[in-house]
Structure 1
């Protein structure tokens, strides 16, 4: 969450929430020393209790966040309310809505599916997402899953296609997110830049031959297991574990139906 002053200037905060070891007087003193900068920094809704001190330092303020966050119920100054309702009664702050949903963590990966011999005969095997790899004739399912293992994007490519080559097409279908988890197969500067341009933070381990090492959050990366569990659940369906469809559109439709049955209808 950010505090915006005027048109372009946003106030920077040193910490997002009040630690137990810091007094309110200390934080008010810290806020009074903040300097306006021309970029976005997480401010934290915990600072709402200090909006008067911030206003004395900076003047007009705008609370910038998604509608989901602004309308979420929480305790502010000892009473249950939403940020939008609280800000509506304040003379120091007003709320601005931006698109997207904060805190959405998505995981990206792919899995190979063996194509049965009866899947032959589609017009142009490559166009039907069937390729030849070490496992024989295979199809790759690329997916993005949320923290509940639910696939939010499904995409097909021939089995020999690299994971990172299909990533831009998957991201083009992706909903707004704050963090993207992926394995080493997606470690590329171009892809990292694309993720950042979409407003998300890439959590991808560095390859052993990488020259410029990027920071890597091991704790956040542990959450990537959800995409593996997602594929495991989808492969419980025999028609997904082995491809029998000649046409890619038919097989993709079957994958979507399996996802609906596995995660939304039950």
Structure 2
């Protein structure tokens, strides 16, 4: 009888310890921690002087929201037919650490030799560059993160070149009609990110654009709605 009682006490203690250990590990728990519950998500805030549309609302941080869309999960991949991504937006930098960028090569209206390799160079400020997750298996698969010692967004740059009809063209481009898509994933050198366009381009008129992205390739998020342009286009 004594042995049974002792065994029962040990079992109960082990069970309590297991539950406590489980509840303390918030990064593996499937239960929403009350300390990260955003009550602002519960309010539509429609109308007002800006005639805002009603926001979609949630009382549980949208943790199961993708279930309402009927779409497959993004799940780290580039889903061409559309998907829903459950990863949270993540860490947002302070206003003095919003990234900005400017192309230094080529310059606006530059004339390049046809079918000749050239280098795209982007001057970058306020970005912890050199962070680029697997674009095929970890696409949009984690929140935006900040570098611990600087508070800067961990990320990289994407470059895109699209053909356009003329310098003064006002026609939106075909989203899949690009002629170059490059990834500047290495750490910036002297504040510059770069990528080679091997073989150059045929004769034509083109626009070049940058997208400053977080580590998992989502466009970076800033703490303010009004700020200088983060990306550049020429």
RCO higher in 1 or 2 (8 Å CA, sep ≥ 6)?
2
TM-score over 0.5 (shorter chain): no
Comparing both structures, which one devotes a greater share of its residues to strand? 1
Q: TM-score range by the shorter chain?
A: under 0.3
Instruction: Please state which structure has a larger fraction of its residues in helix.
Output: 1
TM-score in terms of structure 2 length: 0.22
